[in-house]
Amino acid sequence: MGQPVRRAEDVRLVTGQAVYTDDFNLDGQAFGCFLRSPHAHAKILSLDTTAAKGAPGVIGVFTGKDIDAAGDVNDMPCNANIKDLQGNPMYHPPRRPLESERVRFVGDLIAIVVAETHVQARDAVELIEIEYEELPSVVDTAKSIEPDAAQIWPEANGNLCVHFENKDGAEIDAIIQSAPNVAKVDLINNRLIAAPMEPRVAIGDYDSDTGTMILYAPSQGANRMHSTIIQVFPLEPEKIHVISKDTGGGFGVRSKAYAELIILMWTARQMKQPVKWQGDRFESMVSDNHSRDNVTHAELPMDENGRALGLKIETIASVGAYLSEMGPGIPTHNGRRITGTVYKLPEVYQSVHVAFSNTTPTDSYRGAGRPEAAFIMESLMEEAAKVMGMDPIEIRNLNFIPEEDFPYTNSQNLPIDSGKFTETMNMAMERADWDGIDARRAESKKHGKLRGIGLGYFMESSGGRPDEFGRVRMEADGSATILVGTFSHGQGHGTAFRQILHDATGLPFEQMNFIDGGDTAIVPQGRGTGGSRSSQMGGVSILRAAKKVIIKGKVIAAHLLQTGENKVEFASGVYTATDSGASISLSEVAMAAHDSAKLPDGMDQGLDENEHYQREADYNYPNGAHIAEVEIDPETGVIKVDRYSAVDDSGVIINPMLFHGQVHGAIAQGLGQALYEHTVYDDDTGQFLSGSFMDYCMPRASMIPDLNVGSNEVRCTTNDLGVKGAGEGGCCGAPPAVMNAVLDALKDLGVTDLAMPLTPMRVWQAIQAAK
């Protein structure tokens, strides 16, 4: 542990030998193509599939009516059950895999055409005759809850899914009333599209002999998908088999059992043959869950010294047209639990109006609620500094939870185990040469450019699903096989977990095999990967299973060394008898364990230990300071991120190379949110205007600066490894760092109000408006 071990898994990937789901085909496989709604909101007046059915190569066309008539498919589930303060449940609209009466967002699913080739299916989709009656639509989040907005669900008055409040607001209002100072901000957290590089693809299959429904699809854990799919097809667990091969990026959007996957499984069962869907990038853009999309008003009352007396947040959060699996939980549970982030806040009130609109449903995407929480706090801190006439660093130091307060129970009753915020911030500031900004600012000014520097301090809550499965199975050849219920889709778990096992057992890497949660028939247990839970959950499960192996191995070693167990010591992969000095390696013990002749009487063969790890603490609290330095061309509004520095506290680091990789990737996505990525729906027609990379701006190498990343390893006290999540912090730290840097650069021009993404046009317009 702690070493930058190179990934053995890279060899397959870098030579083109990886197997992603579109890289293989099954015997007898047919191809499916979807008909999707071109309208934001419409009634389906008529639907005639006759012509499509008769097209060349077509072997089946299925609509919502077919699925409903079969009567064997439940509604798409939502597992985040959010209530209001009075205990009233949220409105959970019915969502069928294929809609037959009404469509509610551009991309909503209507039918599937199955043909012998992909292109035959694609051609035939255009032959489906369908008549729509377009209805008024609403796509803007703030407008969606206004009284005159187009109504989407008759049962959800004002497009309200639920009005969540963490408590009554009377106390915070009283505090704000009497506070000597109040900082106020109005913020937009822009809607994002995750866009992993592998588009959507899946194969549904059916084993008639066993009645098993099979799904091949990239995911963030086959077990995780299984647990959702079984809510839609209520079968015995072994009658649903999910296999995820190499997966081209997840980021939170790949962990959901989307309607397309359900339809493919159902269709395969109907037709008794495999059916593959090769989604194109447009389909990915329109049907992968979107994310963020919050409109927030927040207030921070302070005493005469700038110390916060409380926090009030009022958010309108868009869930889209339907509820995705976790959608309404993101702003109300995921983000809310870390509200206030690193600051000491005596009283916190948070209200979230969870609202429907005629847009793609939202759900988790790297950070899932925590970037929103960080953005609010860091914007408030900057505003608070202005209100108080204080330095932004000074006011943060004043309000940070001090080291001596840990473990600290935050306003949402979460026990935060550790954190050294001032120290971490200082490390970042040094890395960024924070104090040298004035000289650099003057230099930029000489060239007609405006330079600014900004800080984003984040804390996020990583983990979730606080149980996991790990197993270490010693093989007859002396090697070890790690089995774990997390699922690596780019993170390099195979390497990181081998490092953990190596440290625990002394076994060399070449003698280790790694199987994770990519096949429910092989690793049925576990919760997959997401929320940066893999090292803290999967890693610890493996560590504990390894320790069990060593303990059992000691019994065998003692037997083989002909001495008492209490005279055997284990170190660096070897059991040594303290009396005779004789030794035997763990590998040799493993080999012997497969030979009953070598084992003590009555002992079963094998050396194979499981750990079902359940942890009390739901989360741990990665945190960090991100500093962006920008240079703006006031003539065009173009922002160049000239420098970017960060120091993250991810607890103990297993592999610094992997850690840096995760931080880089998260920062890039955070920079994307802040500067480039803009999910656009036309306000009048509800048309989706971000269906390709021509319009949705993906960060490219020339747009990301060198990332100067360091770490402050503050050991996590709530797990054996001392690790905290590492994968999502950058998404939380980068947007406020950039926003604060840009506002710093433009402050002399009187610009105080900007919304992400900070496109050149927006910056230029703000400069003009301030003139």
Among 664, 715, 717, 755, binds another protein (CB under 8 A): 664
Distance of CA 99 to the CA centre of its chain: 28
**Least distance in angstroms from the C-beta of 113 to another protein:** 15
Stretch that binds another protein, among 11-19, 332-340, 449-457, 578-586 (CB under 8 A): 11-19
**Least distance in angstroms from the C-beta of 552 to another protein:** 36
Question: Strands, DSSP E only, in 279-414?
Answer: 290-291, 294-302, 311-320, 348-356, 408-409
Using CB under 8 A as the binding rule, the residues of this chain from 631 to 660 that contact another protein are 635-636, 657-658, 660
Q: Which is nearer to another protein, 77 or 539 (CB)?
A: 539
| Cβ–Cβ under 8 Å, residues 286 and 218 | no
Q: Which is nearer to another protein, 491 or 585 (CB)?
A: 491
Q: Measured between alpha carbons, how far apart are the two ends of the chain, in Å?
A: 56
Using CB under 8 A as the binding rule, the residues of this chain from 727 to 756 that contact another protein are 730
Q: How far apart are CA 691 and CA 672, in angstroms?
A: 17
State the amino acid at position 177 in one-letter form.
Answer: Q
**Least distance in angstroms from the C-beta of 543 to another protein:** 23
- The DSSP call for residue 174 is H
Using CB under 8 A as the binding rule, the residues of this chain from 483 to 522 that contact another protein are 489-492
Spell out the residues 6+ positions from residue 73 whose beta carbon is closer than 8 angstroms to its own: 67, 96, 97, 232, 233, 262, 266
Residue 280 makes contact with another protein by CB under 8 A:
yes
Residue 390 makes contact with another protein by CB under 8 A:
no
Using CB under 8 A as the binding rule, the residues of this chain from 337 to 366 that contact another protein are none
Stretch that binds another protein, among 92-100, 167-175, 619-627, 674-682 (CB under 8 A): 674-682
Among 231, 412, 422, 765, binds another protein (CB under 8 A): 765
Q: Which is nearer to another protein, 13 or 85 (CB)?
A: 13
Q: With 0-12 CB in 10 A as exposed, 13-18 as middle and 19+ as buried, what is 17?
A: exposed
Q: How far apart are CA 498 and CA 135, in angstroms?
A: 56
Residue 678 makes contact with another protein by CB under 8 A:
yes
Q: Which is nearer to another protein, 584 or 709 (CB)?
A: 709
Residue 669 makes contact with another protein by CB under 8 A:
yes
- β-pairing, 294-302 vs 311-320, is antiparallel
Question: What does the block give as tokens for 730?
Answer: 């950058």
Total residues at the site for another protein (CB under 8 A)? 75
**Cα torsion angle, 226, 232, 237, 242, sign:** negative
Residue 282 makes contact with another protein by CB under 8 A:
yes
Q: Which is nearer to another protein, 307 or 640 (CB)?
A: 640
Phi, psi dihedrals of residue 666, rounded to the nearest 5°: -70, -40
Among 7, 292, 451, 493, binds another protein (CB under 8 A): 7
The pattern of x and - marking residues 66 through 105 that bind another protein according to CB under 8 A reads ----------------------------------------
DSSP assignment of 504-566 equals: HH---GGGEEEE-SSBTTT---S--S-TT-IIIIIIHHHHHHHHHHHHHHHHHHHHHTTS-GG
**Cα torsion angle, 261, 264, 270, 275, sign:** negative
**Least distance in angstroms from the C-beta of 244 to another protein:** 12
Among 32, 107, 199, 371, binds another protein (CB under 8 A): 199
Using CB under 8 A as the binding rule, the residues of this chain from 12 to 31 that contact another protein are 12-20, 22-24
**Cα torsion angle, 749, 755, 758, 761, sign:** negative
Distance of CA 741 to the CA centre of its chain: 26
Residue with the two structure tokens 């866009």: 195
Q: Which residues of 515-528 are buried (b: 16+ CB within 10 A; e: fewer)?
A: ebbbbbeebbbbbb
Among 195, 348, 427, 577, binds another protein (CB under 8 A): 195
The pattern of x and - marking residues 296 through 335 that bind another protein according to CB under 8 A reads ----------------------------------------
Using CB under 8 A as the binding rule, the residues of this chain from 219 to 278 that contact another protein are 246-251
**Least distance in angstroms from the C-beta of 548 to another protein:** 31
The residue among 741, 80, 136, 104 whose CA lies nearest residue 441 is 741
**Least distance in angstroms from the C-beta of 466 to another protein:** 26
Q: Which is nearer to another protein, 506 or 760 (CB)?
A: 760
Residue 196 makes contact with another protein by CB under 8 A:
yes
Residue 414 makes contact with another protein by CB under 8 A:
no
**Least distance in angstroms from the C-beta of 385 to another protein:** 29
Residue 409 makes contact with another protein by CB under 8 A:
no
**Least distance in angstroms from the C-beta of 703 to another protein:** 7
- The DSSP call for residue 113 is E
Q: Which helix (H) or strand (E) holds 626?
A: strand 623-633
CB atoms within 10 A of CB 336: 25
Residue 688 makes contact with another protein by CB under 8 A:
no
**Least distance in angstroms from the C-beta of 20 to another protein:** 7
**Least distance in angstroms from the C-beta of 368 to another protein:** 16
Among 227, 244, 587, 759, binds another protein (CB under 8 A): 759
Q: How far apart are CA 370 and CA 44, in angstroms?
A: 39
The pattern of x and - marking residues 695 through 714 that bind another protein according to CB under 8 A reads xxxxxxxxxx-xx-------
Q: Which is nearer to another protein, 506 or 656 (CB)?
A: 656
State the amino acid at position 748 in one-letter form.
Answer: D
